[in-house]
Amino acid sequence: MTVHTDASKYLDPKVSAFVSGKHEMLIGGKWRPSVSGKTLDVLDPANGKVIAAVPAGEAADVDLAVKAAREAFNGPWSRLVPAARAKLIWKLADLIDQHGLMLAQINSYECGKPIGDSRNGEVPFTAETFRYYAGWATKLNGEAMTINAPGDWHAYTRREPVGVAGQIIPWNFPLAMLAWKVAPALATGCTIVLKPAEQTPLGALYFGRLVEEAGFPEGVVNIVTGFGEAAGAAMSAHPDIDKIAFTGSTEVGKMIARAATGNLKKVSLELGGKAPTIVLGDADIEMAVAGASSAAFFNAGQSCGAGTRFFVHRKIYDKVMSGVAERAEKLRLGAGLDPASELGPVVSQQQMERITRLISEGRGSGAEIVTGGERAGDVGYFVKPTIISSTTPEMAVMREEIFGPVVCAMPFDDEDLETLAQDANDTEYGLAASIWTNNLGAAHKLAAKIKSGTVWINCHNFNDVTMPFGGFKQSGWGRELGAQALDLYTQTKTVAIRLP
């Protein structure tokens, strides 16, 4: 298998100039280096080469950003009427579209995903998310209550912005995750300190330029680049951040929840998953094969909703699994920037090593590798799409979130929905699941029994900006997207008036 690991020739010269240029953080409307002067390297995961250095922000930088965000919250941002906020957010969406090619290339360069997924998927979705929440800015109303007490009263609620929002995002969908957090926060009138993942800060910094161009008042959006243990931890514990929104691992989510207790800031967490893909006996095999493959291998499996445990009815198991294996073996691995690549590298050496270690441990405890099972090539962080069979529920490959192109497959004989749901729910996570069937009754009954924030039927990894997304169990707190995301950034004030 040859893997194309250097695709920098596809880079637009403007993107090259941006990436290799000097990078600073956006704080209070000014671009500045970290207070310590330290930087961190950004790598191309297709070959491990350093492509940029960005400021390594720490607690002192977070302090400056929070101060700027607080001033903007108390000052110019709070004076803008909702329609003016909506206009700015809409303008930002237009700029994202206009700069779509640049953003897509930066995104694929730093996180490795195929350029088509960035250009036709993530970037338009990012713009759409801003547009959707621009519409909400003018629709955040309270209610008037009818009071039971004797006398004359007027009581109503106001939906007020929570204040300064700290937002910590991961590297798997750097732009979409940014939009899911930044857009509703802006719509509700919050100000923001955003920390992109250390592996993928460049898209966020480019986005910072668009924020400036759109004309947001200084300090409304501040972007601090840096490591999680330094900048992220300082944000979670910061006494003047009112709300923290996080997407990432369950382990870090728990640390953030603990750190947030200092000032009891509001916390929302979108954490890990171990989604089941359940293929019932009557499923359309062709559709199930395509869907299950994409569930497992889309974004090299680096998606919290990835379908990582296949439960397939025995009578179609061989057909489905040989179809998925055939697709896995045909996927063209290569650098995300190369338009021919269908599966990019995983994001880092550390992730690649973790994935291959989990696969080896599974093999060591008796699981069988149907296809893949190892690193691809010896340059960059490529992992062959992998199918594992003969697993048992206690194996680490079945329990831990792998975050790589790896799926465990099991046949089932009895289509008893209760047992199927029990097996699907046998995980500490509860983010997503998919069911493949044409049996309407079974689909709805099973959907009700599955303990997860999203259940997809005859589709997987389908996110629409209108649909709330988030986790049951240890997959998180709160829901992003849809109208529910607005609740994360607003608080209700009750005003009760005695009418003399």
| Member of 229, 286, 318, 464 binding ligand ADP (CB under 6 A) | 229
**Any catalytic annotation for residue 128?**
no
> Does 41 help bind ligand ADP (rule: CB under 6 A)?
no
**Any catalytic annotation for residue 304?**
yes
Q: How far apart are CA 38 and CA 21, in angstroms?
A: 16
Q: Give the active site residue among 128, 270, 401, 480.
A: 270
Q: What is the residue-wise DSSP string for 194-238? A: EE--TT--HHHHHHHHHHHHHTPPTTSEEE----IIIIIHHHHH-
Question: How many chain residues touch ligand ADP (CB under 6 A)?
Answer: 17
Q: Which is closer to ligand ADP, CB of 297 or CB of 436?
A: 297
Q: By rule CB under 6 A, what string of x and - marks binding of each residue 170-189 to ligand ADP?
A: x-------------------
| Positions 194 through 223 that interact with ligand ADP (CB under 6 A) | 195, 197-198
Residue ranges of the alpha helices (H) in 12-122? 13-20, 59-74, 76-79, 82-98, 100-111, 115-116
- What the block records as the tokens of 167 is 């937002």
> Does 277 help bind ligand ADP (rule: CB under 6 A)?
no
Q: How far apart are CA 449 and CA 111, in angstroms?
A: 36
**Which residue, judged by CB position, is nearest to ligand ADP in the bound state?**
228
Q: By rule CB under 6 A, what string of x and - marks binding of each residue 231-260 to ligand ADP?
A: -xx--x-----------xx--x--xx----
SS3 162: coil
The distance of closest approach from Cβ of residue 89 to ligand ADP in the complex, given in angstroms and rounded to an integer, is 23
CB half-sphere exposure, 315, CA atoms < 13 A: 8
- What the block records as the tokens of 332 is 């063209």
| Member of 228, 301, 334, 471 binding ligand ADP (CB under 6 A) | 228
> Please, which residues have CB within 8 angstroms of residue 364's CB and are 6 or more apart in sequence?
none
The distance of closest approach from Cβ of residue 320 to ligand ADP in the complex, given in angstroms and rounded to an integer, is 29
Binding part of the chain for ligand ADP, among 23-31, 46-54, 164-172, 411-419 by CB under 6 A, reads 164-172
Are 376 and 382 contacting, i.e. CB atoms less than 8 angstroms apart?
A: yes
> Does 152 help bind ligand ADP (rule: CB under 6 A)?
no
Q: What is the residue-wise DSSP string for 296-335? A: HHGGGG-STT-EEEEEEEHHHHHHHHHHHHHHHHH--BB-
- Residues forming contacts to ligand ADP in the complex (CB under 6 A) are 168-170, 195, 197-198, 227-229, 232-233, 236, 248-249, 252, 255-256
Catalytic residues: 270, 304
